[in-house]
Structure 1
Amino acid sequence: MVETVPAALDPDHHADVAGGWLRAAVFGAMDGLVSNIALIAGVGGAAVAPRTVVLTGVAGLVAGAISMALGEYTSVRTSNEQIQAEVAKERRELEKHPDAEAAELAAIWEGRGLPPELALEVARSLARDPREALRVHAQEELGVDPDEVPSPWVAAGSSFVCFAVGALVPVLPYLFGATVLWPALVAGGFGLFTAGAVVARFTGRPWWRSGLRQLVLGSGAAAATYLIGMWIS
């Protein structure tokens, strides 16, 4: 008989929501799909040569992937530096005013229903371990865990790769010899629906609803740029 471990006792029963890669990957893939589908639709709406559409799509892929990676790296790095500054401030406060900080932590727990005496006793006991005290104070006062900040390199890498893959999808039909716009739009629509369905695996939402939502949003962007392309041409 195989013994099962209760979910609450299994350290891996929750998904990693602090690693920084999922948000960047999802944002990169969706942005790559939507932006390049819309870009190709806009150029295709102007009835230009297929070679021009390919050039536009590849340029959009490269420029967008680099921009996304740099943006994610800078965003996560800046956020981490802000967290480090606030944690350093909290460390100094714990060193200079340990009793006041313990009372502040106890007050937070009291607000959540813990008896005042017990809350203060636990807070004072926690202060005996400076590292753990800093971690708990950061979590309770700042809402962050200083030991689990996302990596800017992971965010940048996942964003770059996923944007490039997403942006490549609507270009593929032209690379395989298509000379009209509709195969690229079909490929892009399939990519949008698939990406939305894959995301549902991490969110627990119905896959078809998530896929349909992304398809509708991306189709709206493509329709807008296509009409603009037709109007300008």
Structure 2
Amino acid sequence: MSASTPQAEAHDHSHSDVSGGWLRAAVFGAMDGLVTNTALVAGVGGGGAAPRAIVLAGVASLVAGAISMSLGEYTSVKTQNEQLDREVEKERRELERNPEGELRELTQMLQVRGVDEALAREVAVQLSRDPETALRLHVVAELGLSPEDKPSPMTAAVSSFVTFGVGALIPLLPYLFGVAVLWPALLCGGIGLVVAGALSSLFTPRPWWFSAGRQLLFGAAAAGITYLIGAAIGVTVA
């Protein structure tokens, strides 16, 4: 190689795990826990319940919600993976029964992505020599999912369980420390929503203040509605 010829410089880079199943479940769990128990505390407190009753209701909501979230996440992710497995097997049968038709399909996929027809056919033939490579290409192109990068149901379940529990605990902290009025609990819930929203922005192109403000707005709306309902029911019952 000539001394004047520049060499390609390799740059190491990595991407976040967007298919592992933990991030969506963790964000969903944290936000759901925060909004659910902040709204619950607002509704029960607005109805005039005693601090002990608010704590009891909040802890029951925390436990039930965390279990429900984790089971729901596990089942939904497991079902999604099983559906993908079924589609992969369907594609595998098509490759075995109609290899020429699948070869033409792969050629067309490459052409759509800008490869010339003759070269697309040549590349498709080479790729199809390995049935597993051809299968993976067809599945990714047709379904938009990789059979090798399926999210983990257990990871999603554990993530949602833990984050829901932590989120649901935050609005209860003032009562657990002996505070007997409502506003500190709502303040803690609001701070939790702001922090959770800001942390979620680390994984997105959104500025932290946008994500934080959005979550605070959602939580405030839920808490405000349930407070009014709780107050109305409390007055009626009284």
**TM bucket, shorter chain:** over 0.9
Match of 2:158 in 1: 157
TM-score by length of structure 1 reads: 0.94
Q: AA paired with 1:129?
A: D
- CA distance in structure 2 between the aligned counterparts of 1:57 and 1:210, rounded to whole angstroms: 26
- CA distance in structure 2 between the aligned counterparts of 1:164 and 1:5, rounded to whole angstroms: 44
Moved over 3 A (4+): none
Match of 1:222 in 2: 223
Residue ranges of structure 2 left out of the alignment (5+ in a row): 1-8
Match of 1:232 in 2: 233
Tell me, yes or no, if structure 1 residue 173 matches structure 2 residue 174.
yes
Deviations 1:61-99 (A, max 9, x none): 000000000110110000000000000111111122222
Deviations 1:82-137 (A, max 9, x none): 00000011111112222211110111221222111111111111111111111111
- CA distance in structure 2 between the aligned counterparts of 1:169 and 1:113, rounded to whole angstroms: 53
Tell me, yes or no, if structure 1 residue 51 matches structure 2 residue 52.
yes
Secondary structure class of the residue paired with 1:55: helix
Identical pairs, percent: 62
Residue ranges of structure 1 left out of the alignment (5+ in a row): none
Q: AA paired with 1:96?
A: R
**Greater Cα radius of gyration, structure 1 or 2:** 2
Q: CA deviation at 1:5?
A: 4.3
Bigger CA drift: 56-65 or 114-123?
Answer: 114-123
Match of 2:28 in 1: 27
- CA distance in structure 2 between the aligned counterparts of 1:209 and 1:5, rounded to whole angstroms: 36
Match of 1:147 in 2: 148
TM-score by length of structure 2 reads: 0.93
Match of 1:82 in 2: 83
Q: AA paired with 2:224?
A: A
- CA distance in structure 1 between the aligned counterparts of 2:142 and 2:227, rounded to whole angstroms: 49
